[in-house]
Structure 1
Amino acid sequence: MTFYNRGAELEELRTAHESPDHEFYVVYGRRRVGKTELLKEFCRERPHLYFLAAQEAEDRQREKFVEQVAAHFDDRVPRIEGWDEAFDYLADQLATEQTIVVIDEFPYLVDENDSLPSYIQSFVDEHLRDTDSMLVLCGSSISTMEPEVLGHESPLYGRRTGQLDVQPFSFRNARDVIAYDLADAIRSYAVTGGTPMYLTLFDYADSLPENIRDHILSPAAILYNEPEFLLRTELRNPARYMSILEAVATGHTTPNEISGATGIDSGPLSKYLQTLRRLRLLDRTVPVTASPKQSKRSRYLVADEFLRFWFRFVEPNRSSIEEAPQIVLDGTIEPGLPDHVATTFEDVCVEATWEAIRQDELGPYADVGRWWYGEDEIDIVGLDPNDDRILFAECKWTSEPVGYGLVESLRAKADRVRWGSDTRDEEFVLFSKSGFVDGLTEDLDDSWSLFSLEELDDLLV
């Protein structure tokens, strides 16, 4: 896979490596997000030992690890009986040479021996601290990495000197990969999301429908079963979790709606929702003016664009896709795609709002998010409590230019947002895929900012 972006993550690892002390880093995140490529890029041209664990018996895993340590230090392979001896052997070698030691897919080792974190604790406390080498544990299984490596009850808790939670690319970063114009890039991002492997599977010399057909709707394609495979690596019985994700992807976003769509009672449902949030598969949102801990107006969203696409269009239509994928593409996906992309466009506009704030094109705001109350919704609301200033924005992914009706509608809804004082400063923004009707820009005062795709393109360069 070609390496893209990750400049901030690389710089953090480089800074840690150049420190005069030992370093123990934890790198984790969902599958396919690019952790291995990041570590390979970091290790390139630096002395390093890279060990990729596999789903094998413990004895064979340990043998391979020791063989790799011996090969790196040009030593004969010693006879090793346990992991404690394996790490003692590694410690003897690190005493003579500064080295980056990467253990990738660490959860596979823990699956075979759940005492391994204790052995690494002893290695860090008794040996690594006395060197200027660097140990990196990397893993994709959130359900293993968080409790076994990062959790309070882990033997390794408090030992790490840093951690990287590697996230999917934002739309702005994904533009380096997506070789379409802006409108088609947004459509494509609404399908692949920001996971690097998904992005790089598409051939951008082909149209988006062709890529969907070839890389998602083909039963032989990697992405056809990817979400199910992802869930099975984290969960023993994923069926109910899949039904929840499908319900949310198809528009059931409140706990009551999810319960009604899945038949799961509210008690068990809360635990399932909590697990899906912990695995970064669902996000919980509340109105930006509300307290996340106290608000009862929560909504759930599928946390990844590809998963949202797959659970909306692929999972409910698997039987038809097996028989006639082109009919599903033409009759179900293409007609429903504009509505699906509209949600992604809102997220892209949130990115653009933050960038406009950084570039001083909009006033400074401390918090930006969605707002709703009853039947009223506003796509983006920004809050600056220090200066009693509030931002209201709407995002329209429509084929017609935005006109005066949206201006009046946004003004009316803004009056119903209870936040700040009666004399608060108000700022308004409109984002439009198809531009604006003639004369609208001239008729609005300086409190309004209008962004067409052309302005968005300039902002997100």
Structure 2
Amino acid sequence: MFYGRKNELEQLREQFDSYDKAAVLVYGKRRIGKSTLIREAAKSFSGTVIYHLCVESTFKGNLDLLTRSVTQALTLPSMRFDTLFDLFDFLKTREKPLLLVIDEYQYFKSSLRGKELDSMFQAIIDTLPKNIKLVLCGSYVTMMRELLEQDNPLFGRFTSIIHLKEMDYLDAQLFYPDRSVRDKIALYSIFGGSPFVLSQLTGRSSVETSIKKLLLPDNSILRSHIENVALSEIRKSFDVRILEYLGNGKKKYSEIASFIGAEKNGLLDKQLKHLISMETICKDSPINKRGDRRKQFYSISDNLMRFYFTYIFANEESAIRLGEDSFFKQRIGRTLETFVSLRFESIALQYFERLAWQGRLPDVTDMGSYWYDDKAKHANGQFDCALKRSDGYEIFEVKYYKKPMSRNECMAEIDQVQRIEDLHVTGVGFVCSAGFDFKAEDLQLISGDNLFAEAATRRGTAR
């Protein structure tokens, strides 16, 4: 079953059905659903689809395998071509529509030096006939982004570009639509938005059972996915202690440097930039401190990776000795609600992003966290969900509760906020997973049900 990605599907189908030249670039992290998306879009293509997966081999090896994919799709006898141009010259002799998908392009590219293969595809795309639609797809995000840089031969050659990212909370819940709102929030907070990961959440297993089954055994599917796929490239070049320290939190550069004992030689800065480029971590700053480098924070981008580095990494032996039940009870169960509550704040922001995409927040110019300095109490901190408007900031208190919030609780929160000096906010709203036990015209109240209903009205539910 294919879920979500409606906008991306429309984008690809438009390219495949076009009467003009079409050369599409699709890239994103591994197991994010790129190949599945392309295959789904190709189902409506009125012609022959040639799907080829590149491998780590020589250029000649990849060319021969690509040739085999072509002849098999066209039901032709075995053929050989000396150059990539010869292969495409042959394809140009075909009159019927062809869709050629070259997946894991980075392996093919790495078989030659520098930008040699990119230069070849520049010439190929420049002379591509209208009946041949070409898709280049890759999962090494850093390398694929190079194709879009101005000094790359392929710069400006693509007719459409799709940077596929994880599903947001609303698309992710399509994999578990019958679960309670509370469970939907917890499942997204723990397992994230990778379609491959979400496809493992079968049946109606509890959140606890899903963790024990999919993450705690050392040979479990998702443990293997994290350790052998997601972390394989990172372990080769980066200090994994960076991710261990970040866990489920946000850290400043100075805090990370102190934890790993980094020397002042620029290596940590280089590693952080590469991890950002790989979409493993992200760097952000409060919306009222965008230009302040001292208020920049690093965090792990992927929810599943957050969970792994919060609870499992460096505790693998303990999990084996104790067994899944005891390990969960001792190491995870006591703090899991806190873990989820911190991720719930990002879900609230995704909700507002969707409203903005719908055009329902026309006066909002930015959204994110809000930094405050309470000089009277000599304290500072952040509100993790805030909307910026021309007249100031509206902040939202986000609560992952089992029971509805009362009016007294809301008013107490507002009173605490108002006690902070020099706070430039125009209003305070509330997002509560369990909803509220009162109605109020004077307060903006957003329940968990609202999160999964109102935002879904957006045309095309995929990011």
TM score, norm. by length of structure 2: 0.88
User: Which residue of structure 2 aligns with residue 81 of structure 1?
Assistant: 82
Asked if residue 137 in structure 1 is aligned to residue 136 in structure 2, the reply is yes
Letter in 2 for 1:376: G
User: Which residue of structure 1 aligns with residue 386 of structure 2?
Assistant: 381
Q: Displacement of 1:361 after TM fit?
A: 7.8
Structure 1 residues 254 and 407: CA distance shift in structure 2, 3 A: same
Structure 1 residues 296 and 91: CA distance shift in structure 2, 3 A: farther
Query: Which residue, out of 236, 243, 246, partners 1:245?
Result: 243
Q: Displacement of 1:233 after TM fit?
A: 5.0
Give 1:192-341 correspondences, 5 Å limit.
192-231=191-230, 234-235=233-234, 237-240=236-239, 242-251=240-249, 253-265=251-263, 267-292=266-291, 294-323=292-321, 324-341=323-340
User: Which residue of structure 1 aligns with residue 123 of structure 2?
Assistant: 122
3-state SS of the aligned residue for 1:11? Answer: helix
Asked if residue 12 in structure 1 is aligned to residue 8 in structure 2, the reply is no
Letter in 1 for 2:68: E
Asked if residue 417 in structure 1 is aligned to residue 423 in structure 2, the reply is yes
CA contact (8 A) 2:366 2:388 kept: yes
Measured in 2, the distance between the counterparts of 1:229 and 1:22 equals: 39
Measured in 2, the distance between the counterparts of 1:315 and 1:268 equals: 23
Asked if residue 151 in structure 1 is aligned to residue 158 in structure 2, the reply is no
Asked if residue 432 in structure 1 is aligned to residue 427 in structure 2, the reply is no
Letter in 2 for 1:396: K
Structure 1 residues 236 and 376: CA distance shift in structure 2, 3 A: closer
User: Which residue of structure 2 aligns with residue 162 of structure 1?
Assistant: 160
Q: Displacement of 1:389 after TM fit?
A: 4.7
Measured in 2, the distance between the counterparts of 1:159 and 1:362 equals: 35
CA contact (8 A) 1:357 1:364 kept: no
Structure 1 residues 358 and 113: CA distance shift in structure 2, 3 A: closer
Q: Displacement of 1:246 after TM fit?
A: 1.3
Measured in 2, the distance between the counterparts of 1:455 and 1:65 equals: 49
User: Which residue of structure 2 aligns with residue 423 of structure 1?
Assistant: none
Measured in 2, the distance between the counterparts of 1:119 and 1:249 equals: 43
Q: Displacement of 1:364 after TM fit?
A: 3.5
Measured in 2, the distance between the counterparts of 1:141 and 1:355 equals: 28
CA contact (8 A) 1:203 1:211 kept: no
User: Which residue of structure 2 aligns with residue 32 of structure 1?
Assistant: 31
Structure 1 residues 330 and 74: CA distance shift in structure 2, 3 A: same
Asked if residue 456 in structure 1 is aligned to residue 459 in structure 2, the reply is no
Aligned length: 439
CA contact (8 A) 1:83 1:116 kept: no
Deviation per CA, 1:277-330: give whole Å up to 9, x if none.
1111111111112235x5431011111111111111111311112322322211
Measured in 2, the distance between the counterparts of 1:381 and 1:334 equals: 30
Gaps of 5+ in 2: 374-379, 457-463
User: Which residue of structure 1 aligns with residue 460 of structure 2?
Assistant: none
Measured in 2, the distance between the counterparts of 1:32 and 1:252 equals: 25
Measured in 2, the distance between the counterparts of 1:327 and 1:100 equals: 53
Structure 1 residues 250 and 68: CA distance shift in structure 2, 3 A: closer
Measured in 2, the distance between the counterparts of 1:202 and 1:344 equals: 19
Q: Which one is further off, 330-339 or 392-401?
A: 392-401
Q: Which one is further off, 26-35 or 70-79?
A: 70-79
User: Which residue of structure 1 aligns with residue 393 of structure 2?
Assistant: 390
TM score, norm. by length of structure 1: 0.88
Structure 1 residues 329 and 137: CA distance shift in structure 2, 3 A: same
Q: Displacement of 1:253 after TM fit?
A: 0.8
Q: Displacement of 1:260 after TM fit?
A: 1.7
Structure 1 residues 27 and 363: CA distance shift in structure 2, 3 A: closer
| Coordinate RMSD, CA, aligned | 2.4
Deviation per CA, 1:376-405: give whole Å up to 9, x if none.
3212211122xx253111101245635032
Measured in 2, the distance between the counterparts of 1:160 and 1:102 equals: 14
Structure 1 residues 59 and 434: CA distance shift in structure 2, 3 A: same
Deviation per CA, 1:141-183: give whole Å up to 9, x if none.
1132122x22333221221112100011000111111242110
Q: Displacement of 1:362 after TM fit?
A: 6.8
Measured in 1, the distance between the counterparts of 2:117 and 2:235 equals: 22
User: Which residue of structure 2 aligns with residue 171 of structure 1?
Assistant: 169
Measured in 1, the distance between the counterparts of 2:149 and 2:362 equals: 39
Measured in 1, the distance between the counterparts of 2:369 and 2:300 equals: 15
Measured in 2, the distance between the counterparts of 1:224 and 1:339 equals: 22
User: Which residue of structure 2 aligns with residue 422 of structure 1?
Assistant: none
Q: Displacement of 1:418 after TM fit?
A: 4.3
3-state SS of the aligned residue for 2:335? Answer: helix
Structure with more contact order per residue of length (Cα contacts < 8 Å, sep ≥ 6): 2
Q: Displacement of 1:26 after TM fit?
A: 0.4
Measured in 1, the distance between the counterparts of 2:360 and 2:11 equals: 30
Q: Displacement of 1:265 after TM fit?
A: 3.1
Structure 1 residues 26 and 380: CA distance shift in structure 2, 3 A: same
Measured in 1, the distance between the counterparts of 2:354 and 2:162 equals: 23
Measured in 1, the distance between the counterparts of 2:302 and 2:400 equals: 19
Q: Which one is further off, 12-21 or 165-174?
A: 12-21
Structure 1 residues 312 and 236: CA distance shift in structure 2, 3 A: closer
Q: Displacement of 1:259 after TM fit?
A: 1.2
3-state SS of the aligned residue for 2:152? Answer: coil
